[in-house]
Amino acid sequence: MFDVSKGDLVGLVIGPGGAGGAGGAGATAAVATGTATASVTLDEVATMEAEHGPRWVVWSQATTGALVAAGIRVARAWDLVAVHRLLYGGWSSDPGRIWARLNGLSTANLPQVRPPDLFNQVDPAAAGNDPIDDDGYVRAEWAAGAWAESPERAAAWARLAWRTAQLQQGWLDASSDPARMTATARSESAAELLCAELAHDGLPLDRERAEAIIESFVGRRPRSDADAAVLRAERDELVLRHAPPDSRFDLRSPGQVKSLLRRIGIEVTDTRAWRLESLRDEHPLVEALLAWRKAERVATTYGYAWLDEYVGDDPDTGAGRLRGEWSGSDGAAGRMTASAGLHNLPGDMRGAVVADDGWVFVRADLGQIEPRVLAAVSGDVALARASADDDMYTPVARQLGVDRATAKVAVLGAMYGQTTGHGAQALRGLQQNYPVAIEYLEAASRTAQVGTDLRTYGGRLVRMGTANANDVSERDLRSHAAARGRYGRNAMVQGAAAEFFKLWAVTVRARVAPLGARIVLCLHDELLVHTPLESAEATARLVDECLQEAAHRWAPRPVAGAPPVRFLTDLSVIGCWADAKD
């Protein structure tokens, strides 16, 4: 059907109705290259994947999600949103904005879909068969869904995706390091595939265990709204009985908690747990309040409502699955994000994350990823040498003539912008012994402070925005500049670490699939792989091999005289996430 080879770009769109019969009414899936287009069924997409292994150009995770839902897991992708975020920073974008940026068109007044009203009837014929309007912009109606109204339009939409990918590749080629940025674009695109699969598969979670854990914190499941109110009041009473009689304070209002504390003779600027920690012995109410807070967190965020909303079944086995939405590169530095509490499950709840019968988890996290990444991206020879040690802080401490704890605080402080306390003194030692790494951070901080954008090692644009100088005091301006400095400094390390992690993750995704294993959780520097018991050892070996492969591909050219930076994992095979030792 198509003259394509492995890795060639092929535009792919899938309409809301999925793929009907090829060319027939309702066939809204289409593929396109620069020379051919076709309406296709999802079966035909699967065949093309198996026979040609192209790199599928998709507008967003929506297409990938439709594929996964249809049971198709492709190897390669070019995700236009993911590459857009790499090139231009920021968050999600629609086709209109992506196209405009690539073509040098202003994005200040992007065409909008006008809601149909008495005077503005949408005329389906008006949109024609060209997704690009006379002014060069993408027709907003197309982006809003009109592209799926006919096979011809779907084909044109797939063709536009292909053309957009070509434009993006052109911009990557025009960068200072085309090979590296292209590698990042491909890795980030694969991460979006992984995200679609994570969202579909879900994290194995034992409902009964989860219920038991919740119950241990907040008591039994309420039978009604009224019952819930009673139980809530009972939990509040455990704190309020320590309060002055006839007083009325709302524990959920930080301001009122502050007033309450003042009434019992405790004056604080805020009521955060770490601040109250040292005041535990001052008054029994403090202890009760801290326990209440912990329970309240479970009750509101990880309680029965959370369970009911986000935990469903595996379609095959009926086992519990916690599902959320996944994004491959949200936020400043391009980390993965997840909803439904997947990225911030309380430690106590991990006891409910249990592998299916006959399956286990291979859990692996990257050891000291940020200082190792700093060594790699900065090209600091001395720091790269230190990375040879299982514990980087040991050689650093020896070099600086301080204890390990001080060395660790100093290194972390340097990366995060902290310059006070014990770290400050050791910072000077870092400057002397690891000048390249420290200067890398300082340069990022200086650039960020004046509001200039940065790019991570992998090429992601970190936008610094602009300070609103008119309504802040001189003092605030300075603190804003300092904050921007910390932000930029941190984004360079955290961002590069995120890129490296994703390269590792997508490599694992590809390698363990033949074993029947699947990644079920990505947690910034940690992978949880669900694998059949008999494949556990092989999976574990692959996870480690993939790290070495990723490290080799990610930083192939160490500075002359420097050893390659060493990366390592802490790896365990477990039946329950809580069994991980740490």
Partner DNA sequence: ATCGTAGGCGCC
Partner DNA sequence: AAAGGGCGCCTACGAT
Q: Which residues make up the interface to DNA (CB under 7 A)?
A: 250, 252-258, 270-274, 293-294, 297, 300-301, 306, 324, 327, 330-333, 335, 337-341, 343-348, 365, 412, 416-421, 482-483, 486-487, 490-491, 494, 523-526
Rounded Cα distance, 51 and 62, in Å: 24
Residue type (1 letter), 385: R
Closest approach of DNA to the CB of residue 330, in Å? 5
Closest approach of DNA to the CB of residue 181, in Å? 22
Rounded Cα distance, 192 and 12, in Å: 15
Rounded Cα distance, 194 and 68, in Å: 10
Closest approach of DNA to the CB of residue 486, in Å? 4
Rounded Cα distance, 471 and 450, in Å: 17
Rounded Cα distance, 69 and 62, in Å: 10
Residue of 27, 98, 14, 28 whose CA lies nearest to 62 = 14
Closest approach of DNA to the CB of residue 380, in Å? 20
Residue number with CB closer to DNA (52 or 209): 209
Residue number with CB closer to DNA (193 or 338): 338
Closest approach of DNA to the CB of residue 335, in Å? 6
Residue number with CB closer to DNA (412 or 513): 412
Residue number with CB closer to DNA (103 or 452): 452
Residues 6+ apart with CB under 8 A from 506: 187, 190, 191, 193, 194
Greatest distance between any 2 Cα atoms in the chain: 82
Tokens 């954008």 locate to 453
Closest approach of DNA to the CB of residue 495, in Å? 9
Rounded Cα distance, 351 and 577, in Å: 6
Residue number with CB closer to DNA (247 or 301): 301
Residue number with CB closer to DNA (41 or 271): 271
State the distance between the two ends of the chain, measured CA to CA, in whole angstroms.
53
Rounded Cα distance, 576 and 579, in Å: 5
Rounded Cα distance, 180 and 173, in Å: 10
Closest approach of DNA to the CB of residue 455, in Å? 16
Residue number with CB closer to DNA (280 or 398): 280
Residue of 335, 448, 449 whose CA lies nearest to 91 = 335
- The two tokens of residue 370 are 């940020």
Residue number with CB closer to DNA (345 or 540): 345
Rounded Cα distance, 552 and 556, in Å: 5
Closest approach of DNA to the CB of residue 221, in Å? 16
Residue number with CB closer to DNA (146 or 414): 414
> Element (H or E) spanning 10, and its range?
strand 9-13
Residue number with CB closer to DNA (141 or 365): 365
Closest approach of DNA to the CB of residue 429, in Å? 17
Rounded Cα distance, 149 and 338, in Å: 32
Closest approach of DNA to the CB of residue 460, in Å? 13
Q: Give phi and psi for 450, each to the nearest 5.
A: -90, 10
Rounded Cα distance, 570 and 582, in Å: 9
Rounded Cα distance, 341 and 33, in Å: 40
Residue pair 1/54 in contact (Cβ under 8 Å)? The answer is no
Q: What is the chain's length?
A: 582
CB atoms near residue 283 (< 10 Å):
16
Beta pairing class for 335-338 and 359-366: unpaired
Beta pairing class for 311-313 and 320-322: antiparallel
Residue number with CB closer to DNA (265 or 347): 347
Closest approach of DNA to the CB of residue 267, in Å? 13
Closest approach of DNA to the CB of residue 421, in Å? 7
Closest approach of DNA to the CB of residue 347, in Å? 3
Residue number with CB closer to DNA (162 or 440): 440
Residue of 294, 318, 322, 326 whose CA lies nearest to 306 = 322
Tokens 């060069």 locate to 136
Q: Give phi and psi for 143, each to the nearest 5.
A: -60, -30
